[in-house]
């Protein structure tokens, strides 16, 4: 899949990063999305399992939903398939938060906070290191309700990195869990690193949000149809892959907080962003990612404290 990504500064850096340090076999990445057909040909041989206790609901509308299948292919499609997943060597968990049905063409997947909280808790207890979340619920203040707040606190306590789509409503509006301070929120940009018109922005995202390529990302449906997909869900996959590679930087997996801080601290806004209060500037969230600077930041921190708090302390699964 690396070779199939549109050319951009970000994708060039992602190629360098993933090839230099492929995501570890020790890593477990959970996909919180739609259902996934684990018998699809491109997933045969992938170390994937379902999280049985995850909550889900049926969507209604006009277009058959294959969202979860596409996300799974981007991460876990095996070598020899039409694309190779960015984290195909890692272990994967599928925690459905909605099930296959039909989906309105103009709306992204959504779920309730309570359903999402249940899936997060199940994925954490199943041994996840990273959660890739493509759905959420619009929230005026970006504050999760008690169940989701408790689930996110569990992620912090267990050193689990939560990466969530910022949403595709094209407005100054927030989704939870993406707006929660402990998460990395991901907005979608074009190959020219301009925010897509559909990508959300907001005050919380200016602190914990980053932009990544979210246009023409190659993925496979459960019927092995190769398509190109756009939106913050698919930008989120690329950040998950980058985080997985950074987390795999040393023999012991690096901690979620260390990787999150490296990504956020090295995000930069466009030089033309002269007024932080302007809409054009706010739409850039915290900024676009500089993955090689993030890698350098981690290299320095690991060199300074090789056995310190930058490494995981919980038992790897």
The pLDDT tens digits for 110-133 are 678 998 999 999 999 999 999 999
Q: Enter the DSSP assignment of 248.
A: T
What is the pTM for the complete model shown? 0.92
Buried b (16+ CB within 10 A) or exposed e, 278-307: eeebbbbbbbbbbbebbbebbeebbeeeee
Instruction: Using DSSP bridges, classify how beta strands 102-103 and 63-64 pair: parallel, antiparallel or unpaired.
Output: antiparallel
Q: Which secondary-structure segment (H or E) carries 151? A: helix 146-157
Place of tokens 């956020």: 264
CA angle 193, 198, 199 (to 5 degrees): 60
pLDDT tens-digit map of 39-98: 999 999 999 999 976 655 554 444 445 889 999 999 999 999 999 999 999 999 999 987
Give 2-304's CATH code, choosing from 3.40.50.920, 1.10.3210.10, 3.40.50.720, 3.40.50.200: 3.40.50.200
Shortest CA distance to 250 belongs to which of 17, 21, 13, 18? 21
* Contact between residue 216 and residue 4 where contact means Cβ atoms under 8 Å apart: no
Q: To the nearest 10°, the Cα dihedral for 68, 74, 78, 83? A: 120
Place of tokens 């199940």: 122
pLDDT at 92: 98
Residues of the chain with pLDDT under 50: 59-64, 103-108, 309, 313-317
SS3 state of residue 38: coil
Q: Which secondary-structure segment (H or E) carries 18? A: helix 9-20
What is the CB neighbour count within 10 angstroms for residue 269? 18
Largest CA distance in the chain: 55
Helices (H), 190-307: 205-208, 232-247, 256-265, 279-282, 291-304
Q: Enter the DSSP assignment of 92.
A: E
């Amino acid at each position: 899949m690396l070779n199939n990504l549109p050319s951009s500064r970000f994708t060039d850096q992602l190629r360098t990063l993933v090839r230099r340090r492929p995501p570890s076999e020790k890593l477990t990445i959970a996909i919180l999305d739609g259902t996934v057909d684990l018998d699809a040909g491109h997933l045969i041989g992938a170390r994937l399992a379902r999280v049985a206790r995850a909550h889900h609901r049926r969507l209604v509308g006009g277009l058959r939903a294959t969202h979860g299948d596409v996300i799974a292919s981007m991460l876990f499609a095996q070598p020899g398939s039409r694309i190779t997943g960015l984290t195909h060597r890692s272990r994967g968990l599928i925690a459905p938060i909605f099930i296959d049905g039909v989906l309105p063409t103009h709306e992204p997947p959504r779920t309730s906070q309570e359903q999402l909280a249940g899936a997060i808790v199940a994925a954490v207890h199943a041994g996840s290191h990273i959660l890739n979340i493509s759905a959420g619920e619009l929230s005026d203040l970006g504050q999760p309700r008690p169940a989701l707040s408790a689930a996110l606190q569990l992620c912090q306590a267990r050193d689990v990195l939560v990466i969530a789509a910022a949403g595709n409503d094209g407005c100054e509006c927030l989704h939870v869990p993406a707006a929660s301070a402990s998460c990395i929120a991901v907005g979608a940009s074009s190959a020219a690193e301009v925010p897509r018109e559909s990508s959300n922005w907001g005050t919380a995202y200016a602190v914990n949000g980053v932009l990544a390529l979210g246009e023409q990302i190659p993925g496979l449906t459960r019927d092995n149809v190769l398509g190109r997909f756009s939106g913050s869900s698919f930008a989120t996959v690329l950040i998950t892959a980058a985080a997985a590679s950074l987390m795999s930087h040393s023999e012991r997996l690096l901690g979620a907080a260390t990787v999150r801080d490296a990504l956020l601290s090295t995000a930069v806004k466009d030089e033309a962003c002269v007024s932080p209060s302007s809409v054009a500037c706010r739409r850039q969230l915290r900024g676009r990612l500089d993955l090689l600077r993030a890698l350098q930041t981690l290299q320095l921190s690991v060199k300074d404290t090789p056995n310190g708090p930058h490494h995981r302390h919980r038992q790897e699964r």
